[in-house]
């Protein structure tokens, strides 16, 4: 077991049984101490509030796309609390329809879950137009709530693990739109803690980097900011844009690239990139979970 798993508390968004908790255990071991947070805002405050030493945050799902609120909070956290990305884990997401005792799929009239989970199951709802969607804060929390409600007409979408956690009845399995449904999670810690040794422990040598940049609002500015990666044979794995509040039609860009910060190619790319940006910040290097 990695030393980090035996000593650190890892915060996740949701309630016990959430996919984020499963991902934390996949990355750091079954014995890791997990701390449930009700919202993404409370998740990103967990280290500063002394509730945890690490944060595991979802960044992207292969069906629903980027988790935009987490990108915004990651940027704020890297500014205010010096959060740094030190690890990554990719989790296969398989959704179940879960009801209370005595329920059946034919009798369900409402299903509740996190909006990202609901968005991953559009085909199921198209095939069952009699079932309404209801948004809640968390997949596992939805199971807890429907078990407390005890209404055979109401179900939740969550993991098989959540069904076992709360004693729910699985009414349908694999209801996600595509079996190749994965979520990528970022492991974060306070930048001052000495991250290099930790990400070496949990995954080996860093082969990926996440960074954020803004460029002048001029034609070709984004194109020229991406050139250094192509010129130095560094693969761009993802690009997410977020609007700059107070500056209409101007954006901040999050990039994930396939090279660690200490890689000679990456060093050259960053040196070439810096003068082409208004702001450039490396959010962390880590071992890719892909």
Residue 237's CATH number: 3.30.70.260
DSSP codes, the chain: --HHHHH-EEEEESSTT-HHHHHHHHHH-TT-EEEEESSHHHHHTTTTTTS-SEEEEEEEETTTEE-HHHHHHHHHHHHHS-EEEEEEEEEE---EEEE-TT--GGG--EEEE-HHHHHTTHHHHHH-TTSEEEE-S-HHHHHHHHHHH--TTEEEEE-HHHHHHHTPEEEEE--SS-S--EEEEEEEEEGGG-HHHHHHHHHSS--EEEEEEE--SSTTHHHHHHHHHHHTT--EEEEEEEEPTTSTT-EEEEEEESS-TTSHHHHHHHHHHGGG-SEEEEEEEE----
Task: Tell me, yes or no, whether 14 and 55 share the same domain.
Answer: yes
Domain containing residue 154: CATH number: 3.40.190.10
pLDDT at 201: 45
Same domain? 213 vs 282: yes
User: What is d(CA 22, CA 5) in angstroms, rounded to the nearest whole number?
Assistant: 14
Kindly report the pTM of this predicted structure.
Answer: 0.87
Q: Say whether both 21 and 84 belong to one domain.
A: yes
Q: Looking at the structure, tell me whether residues 222 and 265 fall in a common domain.
A: yes
**Count of beta carbons in the 10 Å neighbourhood of residue 96:** 25
Same domain, 190 and 257: no
Q: How many CB atoms lie within 10 A of CB 125?
A: 16
Choose among 285, 283, 284, 278: nearest CA to 213. 278
- Residue 4 pLDDT: 61
State the pLDDT at residue 1.
Answer: 31
Whether residue 23 contacts residue 91, with contact meaning beta carbons closer than 8 Å, is answered with: yes
Residue 246 region by backbone torsions, left for phi larger than 0, else alpha for psi between -120 and 50, else beta: left
Write down which residue in 173, 191, 225 finishes a domain.
Answer: 173
Q: Determine the pLDDT at residue 137.
A: 86
How many structural domains are present in the chain? 3
10-residue averages of pLDDT along the chain (290 residues) = 63 93 93 93 94 95 92 86 89 96 96 93 97 94 96 97 96 95 94 50 79 94 96 96 93 96 96 96 91
Structural domain of 139: 96-173
Do residues 55 and 188 share a domain?
A: yes
- Is 86 in the same domain as 185? yes
């Amino acid at each position: 077991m990695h030393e980090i798993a035996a000593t650190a508390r890892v915060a996740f968004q949701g309630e016990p049984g959430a996919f984020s908790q499963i991902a934390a255990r996949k990355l750091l071991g079954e014995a890791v101490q997990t701390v449930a947070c009700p919202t993404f805002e409370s998740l990103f405050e967990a280290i500063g509030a002394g509730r945890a030493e690490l944060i595991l945050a979802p960044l992207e799902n292969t069906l629903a796309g980027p988790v935009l609120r987490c990108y915004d909070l990651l940027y704020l956290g890297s500014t205010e609390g010096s959060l740094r990305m030190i690890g990554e884990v990719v989790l296969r997401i398989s959704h179940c329809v879960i009801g209370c005792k005595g329920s059946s799929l034919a009798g369900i009239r409402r299903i509740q879950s996190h909006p990202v989970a609901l968005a991953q199951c559009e085909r199921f709802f198209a095939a069952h137009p009699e079932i309404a969607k209801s948004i809640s804060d968390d997949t596992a929390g939805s199971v807890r709530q429907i078990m407390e409600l005890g209404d055979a007409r109401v179900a939740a979408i969550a993991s098989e693990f959540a069904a076992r956690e709360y004693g729910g009845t699985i009414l349908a399995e694999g209801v996600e739109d595509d079996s190749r449904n994965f979520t990528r999670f970022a492991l974060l810690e306070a930048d001052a803690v000495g991250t290099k040794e930790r990400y070496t422990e949990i995954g080996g040598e860093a082969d990926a980097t996440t960074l954020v940049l803004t460029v002048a609002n001029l034609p070709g500015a984004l194109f020229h900011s991406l050139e250094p990666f192509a010129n130095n044979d560094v693969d761009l794995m993802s690009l997410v844009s977020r609007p700059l509040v107070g500056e209409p039609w101007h954006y901040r860009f999050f990039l994930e690239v396939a090279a660690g910060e200490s890689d000679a190619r990456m060093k050259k790319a960053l040196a070439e990139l810096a003068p082409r940006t208004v702001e450039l910040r490396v959010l962390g290097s880590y071992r890719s979970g892909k």
